[in-house]
Structure 1
Amino acid sequence: MLYPELFKQLEAVRWNMDRDIPWDQFDASRLSEEQAQTIKMNAITEWAALPATEMFLRDNRDDSDFSAFMSVWFFEEQKHSLVLMEYLRRFRPDLVPTEEELHEVRFEFDPAPALETLMLHFCGEIRLNHWYRRAAEWHTEPVIKAIYETLARDEARHGGAYLRYMKRAIGRFGDEAKAAFAKVGVLMASARRTAQALHPTNLHVNAKLFPRDTVQSRLPNPEWLERWLDQQIKFDAVWETKVVERILHNMSLLMERSFQSVQELNRFRKELSARLAAAGRAEGGAPQPA
């Protein structure tokens, strides 16, 4: 089991909201209105760890180890929402999200393949780590800068934990796991080709609720994310390249094969699909989709 070791590792570096956030350094003159509004939107977005956890527990009922790890991930992600709300409670109480606004992002996600969902959230942690690092640079108020730096480190550690479960999955499921990870890796490393930010909170997850079936679509300001990325924190091509490089680096480690580009990863994905299809034919089963 991975859960006991991961619990100890994350427990050893867990930060305390009262002691480790420099609340006494707050400088009201360095917090703009637009910055404060983005903190509210991020607080609500982080609350979506609740429905994500419900999804993980539902779709991993046969995996008690990973489900137990969700207790740590869920606690730390909800703490992210809480510390952002605490910041607003102290310094901009008029912007504290209401319970109704928070509850709006708790909705059911459609069932999805567990391996693909694992990879999706692994990539999401990498992307969020970079978003928060950039947000810390953009903000000018010292306390919120420190908070975003703290959250970024958490997201990096969560990505590392997901990577451990992905490595375990390859040991158990072989090419099936590799194919699932490569498929989602190609998607999540291709953000420059899409009109929207590729993160779990911005993907459609409930067909019956479409188009209000993304976390971002259910926020008080559904358009805030694109503006935050493009105009405020300026998450440009340089930063996007850093995300892609981290995804490819980790895929290289995981697959024990070097990927220098998304195109190379996609060729590997096609190799895996062909191999699985051939195996399916050999066993008299239906070919696997490419």
Structure 2
Amino acid sequence: MLYPELFKQLEAVRWNMDTDIPWDRFDASQLTDEQAHTIKMNAITEWAALPATEMFLRDNRGDSDFCGFMSVWFFEEQKHSLVMMEYLRRFRPELVPTEAELHEVRFEFDPAPPLETLMLHFCGEIRLNHWYRRAAEWHTEPVIKAIYDTLARDEARHGGAYLRYMKRALTQHGDAARLAFAKVGVLMASARRTSQPLHPTNLHVNEKLFPRDTVQSRLPDPDWLEQWLDKQIQFDAEWEGKVVDRLLHNLSLLMGREFNSVQALNRFRKELAQKLAANDAETAATA
């Protein structure tokens, strides 16, 4: 099992909200209304770890090891929302999200293949790590800068934990896992070709609720994410390139094959799809 080891690793570096956040360094002159608004939207977005956890537990019912790890992931992700709300409670109480606003992003996700979902959230952690690093640079108020730095490190550790489960999946499922990871990897590394930010909170997950079936669409300000990325923290092509490089690097190590571009990963995906289709055809013919 991976859960006991991951629990110890994450427990050893867990930060304390009271003692590890430099609350006494707050500088009101360095916090604008615009920045405070983004913190509120981010706090609500992080609350969506709740429906994501419910999805993981439902779709991985046969995997008690991974579901055990969810107890750690869920706790730490909810703490991200909580620390942002604590920041607002202390310094901008009129912007603390209401319980109704938080509950609005708790809705059921349609069932999805567990391997693809695992890869999707691995990519999401990598992307969020880079978003938060950039947000820490954009903010000018010292306490929220420290908070974003802290959260960015958490997201990187979560990505590493998901990667451990992806390695295990290769042993358990072989090429089926490789294909699932390559397929989602191509999608998530192709943000430059899409008109929307590629992150789990911005993907459609409930057909019956469409188009209000993304986390971002259910925020008080549904356009917040794109505004935050494009106009505020300015997550430009250089930063997006860092995300893609990190995804391709990890997939190269995972698959034991060098992917120096999204195109190379896509060729690998096609090879796997053809191989598995041929195997299925051979099995059917034998039967």
Q: Where does residue 107 of structure 2 map in the other structure? A: 107
Give the residue type in structure 2 aligned to 1:253: L
What letter matches 2:200 in structure 1? P
Q: Deviations over 1:69-110 (max 9, x none)?
A: 000000000000000000000000000000000000000000
User: 2:170 is matched with which residue?
Assistant: 170
Aligned-pair CA distance for 1:245: 0.2
CA deviation digits over 1:172-207, x for unaligned, max 9? Answer: 000000000000000000000000000000000000
CA-CA distance at 1:112 after TM superposition: 0.2
The TM-score, its normalising length taken from structure 2, stands at 0.99
Work out the CA distance in 1 between the residues paired with 2:283 and 2:53. Answer: 36
Cα deviation per residue 1:7-36 (whole Å; 9 max; x = unaligned)?
000000000000000000000000000000
| Structure 1 counterpart of 2:253 | 253
**What is aligned with 2:201?**
201
Determine the structure 1 residue equivalent to 2:241.
241
For 1:234 and 1:169, how far apart are their aligned partners in 2? 36
Alpha-carbon distance between aligned partners in 1 of 2:134 and 2:34, rounded to the nearest angstrom:
16
Taking the aligned partners of 2:150 and 2:275, their CA distance within structure 1 comes to 43
Once the two structures are TM-superposed, the CA of residue 257 in structure 1 deviates from its matched residue by 0.3
Residue identity opposite 2:225 in structure 1: L
Partners of 1:258 and 1:161 lie apart in 2 by 22
Q: Which residue of 2 aligns with 1:288?
A: none
- 1:254 shift after superposition: 0.4
TM normalised by structure 1 equals: 0.98
Provide the residue aligned with 2:283 in structure 1. Answer: 283
2:36 matched residue in structure 1: 36
- Segments of structure 1 that go 5 or more residues without pairing to the other structure are 286-290
Mapping for residues 1-290 of structure 1, pairs under 5 Å: 1-284=1-284
Distance 2:5 2:210 in 1: 40
Aligned partner letter, 1:119 = M
Amino acid in the other structure paired with 1:101: E
In structure 1, the residue corresponding to 2:284 is in which secondary structure? Answer: coil
The one-character-per-residue Cα deviations of 1:214-263 (angstroms, maximum 9, x if unpaired) are: 00000000001000000000000000000000000000000000000000
Q: Return the letter of the residue paired with 1:184.
A: V
Q: Quote the sequence identity (%).
A: 83
1:26-84 deviations in Å (ceiling 9; x for gaps)? 00000000000000000000000000000000000000000000000000000000000
What is the deviation of 1:3? Answer: 0.2
